[in-house]
Amino acid sequence: MELLAPAGDPQALYAAVAAGADAVYFGLGDLNARAKAQGFDCQNVRTFVDYCHLHGVKAYIALNTEIKNSERQKLREIACAAAQAGADAFIVADIGVTALIGDLGVPLHASTQMGICNLEGAKYLERYGYTRVVVARETLLCDVAEIKRHTKLEVEYFVHGALCVAYSGACLASAMRSGDSGNRGRCMQPCRMKYASSFGAEGYLLSPADQCLVGRLAELREAGADSLKIEGRLKQPQYVWHTVSKYRAVLDGRESPAAARAELLRAFNRGNFSEGYNFADTRKLMYPKVQNNIGVRIGEVVSAARGRAVVDLSESINIGDGLKVLTRDGRERGGFGASAAVGKGKGVKMSVPPELGVARGDVLAKTFDSAFAAQAICAPMPVEIELGATAVVGESFCVTARRGDIAVTAKGAQTLAAEKRPLDEGSLAAALDRLGGSGFCAKSIKTHCGEGAFVPPAEINKTRRAACEQLKAAILDAYDTGRRRVFAKPPYHVPKIEIGEMYEVEDMSQADVDAHTLCVAPRDYTADTARKLADECRRRGKKIFCRLPMVVRGEDMRVLKRFLDECDDVLDGYLCDNWYALELARERGKLSIAGHRLNLCSDEAIASSGANAAIASAELSIAEYRALGADALCYAVGDLPVMTLTHCPVKLNTGRDCAHCAYDGEFWYRDKAATYRVVRKKLAHCTFDVYNPSTVCAPSAYRQYIRPFVSLVGMNGLTISQYLADPDLTGIKKTAGLLSRGVK
């Protein structure tokens, strides 16, 4: 299995290579999912790709952000520079990017932001020419195995680092709060804030613990995972080095998973780690007590007063270490940096910030270990080569450089006869070993000096440099020869249908007047719900669209297909919020409408989605929507889902299991400013949609410019006729949403 490491800056890239990564991923500029990561651009990308390739490491370029019409030229310039530099793949989150850069011949990897979690979604993208899917972090191993059995795609699986609480690619929480879109690499992480729930719980209720699957690599291999992805392009280089080193050691059989996990806790540790959606109970996924690194426990406070504490320390503290004080029950008091060295032992006296209110029984944790961090290699690492030289009077001075099976020979000027002191083999070897900034270091040096031979130092240096340059070119040429060329293009050429406006309801009782295009969004997808829906449509002589659920995993697909079997005869088609749904529409001969949660932001995305119609991304401003050349509906009215949760928040908040479910229809989360309604969707597994506190309602000044999509789902039974009588939703808390300002 490939070990894939993050590189948020050049030092992190060097650390990943030194630690044993098989591949690294990084972005250029701000058109990637970590816009805050810096250090790589179109001017230096070749330098870093060459560095990776000289070490036999692949370089993947992250272009995993939503692209607007105004950014198409910028994207093309970045992609062309990376392609010319020899990038091994592009990581893509926007289907429109396929049309914009698919002709460059660089393999495309479908980012986790595309939300692929089942075979149907993978098949849809395989026909585009994608070579790999980075499956959503919620993907079950049974679905990984299905993708491997029935496609030729590589599967990349996330194994370590921070988890998003929202389903991959489907979070609008940060965008709606501040315009900082998580889908465009600028997430402000509102999920890491404190919340209260309607069940009475309080804390960091939407903040997942970091995932660590170092003990589950055998299961991932058995399921068919091809690549193991480590998250962390915003982490420090030392973190990258230590994390990659430990996974490398386990993969190579040099270290046990248990020993590696203990060291990984020291590198960075939010919530003592979880084992994610395949191996952990829902109640272990979140860590409500602390929302950041809690480090490793090193002591307990015996007593404290006026900025001094007596602590039983299990390990010493060095100047520069990061420390954090936690209460006895694990709540955070605060952190501070060690300004003095303290030895381990019982009853050790040390200074603590008085404002933390440290008390007896508190736990002292180390969040940054300066000695541990100092072990990391975060600088360029030379490539080991073998050198040889021959100096024989009357013959050309020759330097040979070899790495593995690749060898080159550089010939210099004719070797001279020494007038005084002849060249000896030790002096020649010393001169060859001066490799400086060549990027190489000598693993071995063999020299031969004929009797009375002499080569001027300048000539030795010149020929050595020539040999190194030739070897570098030969290594890169050999690497490039093996690079796969893949041209991707949209394979779907479906007829477009024109929709003037569209209404979405949760129940047919809301459709009290005839709407030209009507969509139903059920709360559950049982066969009984399907039969009732079909009976009502037949009674009315009406054909409708059905919104398919965002997340379908494992047994969910069987449940969904049974639902569709019961009501397909009354369905014109499907409203699709995930790529699998378009595949189902294709297989079943139904019309498809690309939903707003596919985040189609450009003409290319809309045109190449493979859908018969589309709803533009809710992140577009009114000006950006009007600038679209492709036809698309505008999300004009509705309670906008800002997250979809695949863990069970009911279990988390109540402690109950499924057999004693406490869900009674709805519940809510509340932060300092607003209340967020949470609604369950049910297949074999449950998911939960978290809704924006204010209803989106396009101002009347905008309505002449849009073809509206109006969702009445969850609006207390509001009917279409009631909406038409009061399109301004008088008395309802509302917002113009992102139509008024767009996203950054």
What three-state secondary structure class fits 643? strand
Q: What is d(CA 207, CA 189) in angstroms, rounded to the nearest whole number?
A: 9
Cα 482–chain centre separation: 27
Q: What is d(CA 458, CA 356) in angstroms, rounded to the nearest whole number?
A: 64
pLDDT of the residue at 133: 98
Distances (CA, A) of 399 to 63, 136, 174, 443: 42, 51, 59, 15
Q: What is d(CA 625, CA 390) in angstroms, rounded to the nearest whole number?
A: 70
Q: What is d(CA 155, CA 582) in angstroms, rounded to the nearest whole number?
A: 20
Residue 388 near residue 447, CB atoms below 8 Å: yes
Q: Mind listing the domains of the chain with CATH numbers?
A: 2-163+209-277 (3.20.20.70), 174-207+641-691 (no CATH), 296-374 (2.40.30), 387-481 (no CATH), 502-637+697-739 (3.20.20.70)
CB within 8 A of 458, min separation 6: which ones? none
Q: What is d(CA 568, CA 563) in angstroms, rounded to the nearest whole number?
A: 8
Residue 617 near residue 600, CB atoms below 8 Å: yes
Residue with tokens 């404290």: 304
Distances (CA, A) of 107 to 128, 129, 131: 11, 8, 6
Neighbours of 223 (CB within 10 A): 21
Q: What is d(CA 103, CA 76) in angstroms, rounded to the nearest whole number?
A: 11
- The 3-state DSSP composition of the chain as helix, strand, coil percent (nearest 5) reads 30, 25, 40
Neighbours of 36 (CB within 10 A): 11
Cα-Cα-Cα-Cα dihedral sign, residues 365, 368, 369, 370: negative
pLDDT of the residue at 355: 95
- Enter the pTM of the model: 0.96
pLDDT of the residue at 501: 95
Cα 56–chain centre separation: 24
pLDDT of the residue at 38: 79
What three-state secondary structure class fits 157? strand
pLDDT of the residue at 483: 75
For 403, counting Cβ atoms within 10 Å of its Cβ (0-12 exposed, 13-18 middle, 19+ buried), the class is buried
What three-state secondary structure class fits 348? strand
pLDDT of the residue at 214: 98
Helix orientation angle between 45-54 and 10-19, rounded to the nearest 10 degrees: 10
Nearest Cα to Cα of residue 230 among 344, 154, 134, 336:
134
Q: What is d(CA 302, CA 292) in angstroms, rounded to the nearest whole number?
A: 25
- Tell me which H or E stretch contains 332: strand 332-337
Q: What is d(CA 184, CA 172) in angstroms, rounded to the nearest whole number?
A: 11
pLDDT of the residue at 379: 96
- Tell me which H or E stretch contains 204: none
Q: What is d(CA 373, CA 21) in angstroms, rounded to the nearest whole number?
A: 18
What three-state secondary structure class fits 705? helix
For 562, counting Cβ atoms within 10 Å of its Cβ (0-12 exposed, 13-18 middle, 19+ buried), the class is middle
Rounded mean pLDDT for each run of 10 residues along the chain, 744 residues in total: 97 98 94 80 96 97 94 96 97 95 97 97 97 97 98 98 92 95 93 96 96 97 98 95 98 98 95 90 87 95 94 96 95 94 96 95 96 95 97 97 97 94 95 94 96 96 97 94 85 91 96 93 96 96 96 97 97 98 97 97 95 97 96 97 95 91 92 96 96 97 96 95 96 95 94
Q: Which residue spans within 195-247 are E strands per DSSP?
A: 195-197, 202-203, 211-212, 227-230
Neighbours of 629 (CB within 10 A): 11
Residue 352 near residue 364, CB atoms below 8 Å: no
pLDDT of the residue at 572: 97
| 665 Rama sector, left if φ>0, alpha if ψ -120 to 50, beta otherwise | left
- Tell me which H or E stretch contains 335: strand 332-337
